[in-house]
Structure 1
Amino acid sequence: MPQLITPDPRFRASFLEAVRENIAEDEYFGNTLKRELAVYGDSWHEPDGFARYVAAVREEELEAGFRPEGFVPGTWYWYVDAGTYLGRIQVRHRLTPHLREVGGHIGYGVRPTARRNGHATAMLREVLPHARALGLDRVLVTCDTTNIGSRKVIEANGGEFEDQRGEKLRFWIRTDR
């Protein structure tokens, strides 16, 4: 049964398969995967290099942790089933003006070969208690106006439409669901 976990080096092979799928589809989880490839891509194939990547991802949740300039603390979770990496979701601990406009508190992605199986809906539902534990009573989740699948995921989790800003739809979800 799929579950959310903190990033774990044991999923290296499956994670790298998912990366190859995303690259083949020209999908980069916003720019996250491009940034990660630039910094860690050369070392991911070695167990020690991938372990360093996982440690860095987990450090991003610490207030004093290392993360890209201008980024807020954010906690990553991976969605896995047995030994297979299915996707990831991040809860950003607070909003910057930019995140308030287009990024929101939560971003998620499912690997191409695992889509249309309800994983994104389940990931979002399962991460809401974690967001609540961070003190967030409600979270902002955004999606592109053309991303019907993501809109359905957000609405299935109680997303209340607030407005459209440019090419982004903005929804609020209560974390006490």
Structure 2
Amino acid sequence: MPVLITPSADLYSAWVEAHSEWGPGAHEDGFGLLPSDDVDSVAGFESWVARLTAASVEGGDGRCSYRWIVEGDRVLGAIALRHGTSDFVQRVGHIGYGIRPSARRRGVATWALGEIIVEAGSAGMSRVLAVCAAENLGSVKTIEHHGGVLESIQDTELGPARRYWIRVGEPGA
């Protein structure tokens, strides 16, 4: 059974294994990984985890609660809850997640999204915006399972994206 945990430098080897599964250049949403982050060295990884931890306690629109999806000693993916209404949140959504390829199609994303919606409610949010690539049918099903209502499909720099609003505390959430 998976659990959501705060990022931990203790999971360096497990995270590297998950990260390598995505392959070079792939976007791993939910991890908060920037091109400038050095995750190849233990020291760089520890610094990155410290940045994620600090983002979870910042105030205002800059706050982002990062959670890793872990099962046993494996990192299955990550999910992020972005707080506030900044331009960035309006563009990419309150929630972003990514599941490593070998853990997909097992309900992990659906479970994690349900958990982070509960966390959003605890943070006082009444609804959250989830954005996914228009052709990502797995994410479409996951978001709609939790009551996501399609607001629009918009062209973005990465291609067409679906924008869904999910009411926190609604059936299916």
Fold shared by both chains (TM-score > 0.5): yes
Aligned to 1:113, the other structure's residue is in SS state helix
Q: 1:90 aligns with which of 80, 83, 90?
A: 80
CA distance in 1, matches of 2:26, 2:37: 18
Tell me which residue corresponds to 2:110: 121
Aligned to 1:7, the other structure's residue is in SS state coil
The C-alpha deviation readout for 1:17-73, integer Å capped at 9, x for no partner, is: 11111125x42225953x2x5322342xx2x443332121111122269xxxxx821
CA distance in 1, matches of 2:85, 2:107: 27
Tell me which residue corresponds to 2:167: 174
Superposition misfits of 4+ residues, deviation over 3 angstroms: 30-33
User: RMSD between aligned alpha carbons?
Assistant: 2.1
Tell me which residue corresponds to 1:79: 69
User: Among the aligned pairs, what percent are the same residue?
Assistant: 36
**Contact 2:121 2:168 (8 Å CA) reproduced:** yes
Which has the larger displacement, 124-133 or 90-99?
90-99
Tell me which residue corresponds to 1:68: none
Aligned pairs, number: 165
Tell me which residue corresponds to 1:60: 55
Tell me which residue corresponds to 1:144: 133
Structure 2 unaligned blocks of 5 or more: none
Aligned to 1:40, the other structure's residue is in SS state coil
Give the aligned residue type for 1:103. Answer: V
**Contact 1:138 1:173 (8 Å CA) reproduced:** yes
Tell me which residue corresponds to 1:28: 27
Give the aligned residue type for 2:14. Answer: S
Give the aligned residue type for 2:39. Answer: G
**Contact 2:39 2:48 (8 Å CA) reproduced:** no
Tell me which residue corresponds to 1:38: 36
Structure 1 unaligned blocks of 5 or more: 66-70
